[in-house]
Amino acid sequence: MSIGQLARGRTPAPARRAAAHDPLLIAAALVLVAVIGIALLGPLRSPYDPDQLYAGAVSAPPSLAHPFGTDDLGRDVLSRVLAGARPSIAGPVIVVAVSTMLGVAVAVASAWFGGAVDGIASRLVDVIFAIPGLVLAVLAVAMFGKGLLAPVVALSIAYMPIVVRLVRAGARAELGRPYIAALRIQGVGSLAICFRHLLPALLPTILAQATVGFGYAMLDIAAISFLGLGAQPPASDWGVMIAGGQPALLTGAPEQSMFPAALIVLTVLAVNIVGARTTTWAEAKDR
């Protein structure tokens, strides 16, 4: 046992027991469950129609009737926040899913075959990497018009290089280890090595990157909607709502922007915490 391992102390307790003693993790998990719950069921349970105008209550402060108040057109903010969960969560989820799947496939192919495949993939990744995600998203909007589809597709591509770089480095290190050579000498097939040994080994890396990516995707998509290039009013996307609440902010009704903003921050925070803990745990398990 090396000094480093000694310094890290005893082998970590089983995950379930460790999690029970980690209030932050529990809180983050609860937030996530709540947000996902809202995204799945929220619209069904919302107190009002999110697009219904209530002329009697324009920019009203929170009250019993409207717990989060109403916006400048007299729409119920709570209902809109609930309705906005689905588009606000779905975008980042798609971005992360697509970029991770593409990225892992390219990375594993690069590491596995090396040579020309690796060279071409690396060059491609370099080029994509040179175009910042937001710029690519704006370019996509210019091409295909406003809406969520173009930015989501653009970000899925823009987030791929970072996945490729991380996973490729991990895969190369893993493939260089003797146990892979031992499996090959046994005559174990390439696909079996890939799915039974290589991918599980890379899972902590992939997971960590996916959660970080989710945070950034959520921020980027919200920014695009906020700028008016993504989801279009009257949609109740959180980014759009924050933008819509801006004038009220200056006239003294901050809650129209604050509630959706708080939800974005909370969601990203919760995903980051859960991701970080899961990764530490997965790494400890492998060591």
What separation in angstroms does the CA of 256 have from each of 19, 21, 234, 268?
35, 36, 14, 20
Q: Does 23 bind other proteins (CB under 8 A)?
A: no
Q: Nearest-CA neighbor of 133 among 16, 18, 223, 242?
A: 223
Q: Does 115 bind other proteins (CB under 8 A)?
A: no
Burial of 92 (0-12, 13-18, 19+ CB in 10 A): buried
**At closest approach, how far in Å is the CB of 247 from other proteins?**
11
SS3 233: coil
Which residues inside 202-261 make contact with other proteins, applying CB under 8 A? 215, 219, 222-224, 226-229, 239, 242-243, 246, 249-250, 252, 254, 257, 261
Which residues inside 156-195 make contact with other proteins, applying CB under 8 A? 165, 169, 172, 177-179, 181-190
Q: Does 119 bind other proteins (CB under 8 A)?
A: no
**At closest approach, how far in Å is the CB of 39 from other proteins?**
18
Q: Which residues contact 204 (CB under 8 A, 6 or more apart)?
A: 279, 282, 283, 286
Q: Which is nearer to other proteins, 65 or 93 (CB)?
A: 93
Q: What CA–CA distance (Å, rounded) separates 284 from 287? A: 5
Q: What CA–CA distance (Å, rounded) separates 10 from 7? A: 9
Which residues inside 61-90 make contact with other proteins, applying CB under 8 A? none
**At closest approach, how far in Å is the CB of 45 from other proteins?**
26
Among 51, 109, 197, 280, binds other proteins (CB under 8 A): 197
